[in-house]
Amino acid sequence: MPNHPVDVHVGSRLRMRRTLLGLSQQKLGEKLSLTFQQIQKYERGANRIGASRLFELSRILDVKPAFFFEEMPTGSSLQVAGIQDPADEFEHEFLGKRETLELVRAYYKIDNMEVRKRVFDVIKALAAEELTKDTTGSKI
């Protein structure tokens, strides 16, 4: 039986939050008295996470249980069930990438708010500059 899209989404949210907190699968498994292989199965959506386990995960990862269902991707089975309205697939695709998570984690490690704001401004400026380039690499 293929993995249910909701289980896959919940698992990806688990992986995202675990990575943002800098927890390994091993460490999270220890906190739950599970093996890292079980955490892997949860994160892939191969195994469903029961309600009590989801509650325990939300406590350990310091999120509300609803966090695991936020930004549910679109899909015919989800829309038919009325679970989710269409979402921005671009945003969902990039928010789950390890590079994005590491960037966010590093950004929030900057304690000096002025430095953090300047880093943010630099990133926005670089992104805006990229948008003004055409496909040949020259500015429009």
pTM over 0.75: no
Structure tokens that stand for 140 in this block: 């429009």
CA 84 from chain center: how many Å? 17
The residue written with tokens 């679109």 in the block is 74
Lowest-pLDDT range of 14-23, 46-55, 91-100: 91-100
Taking only the tens place, the pLDDT of each residue in 4-41 is 899 999 999 999 899 888 889 999 999 999 999 999 99
User: Of all residues in the chain, what percent are helix, strand and coil, respectively (each to 5)?
Assistant: 65, 0, 35
The overall average pLDDT reported for the chain is 81
Domain boundaries, the chain: 5-87
The DSSP line for 58-85 is: HHHTTS-GGGGGTTPPP-HHHHHTT---
CATH fold of 5-87: 434 Repressor (Amino-terminal Domain) (1.10.260)
pLDDT score of 96? 63
Structure tokens that stand for 8 in this block: 């896959």
CA–CA dist 124, 122 (Å, integer): 5
Sign of the CA dihedral with 37 first, then 43, 46, and 51 last: positive
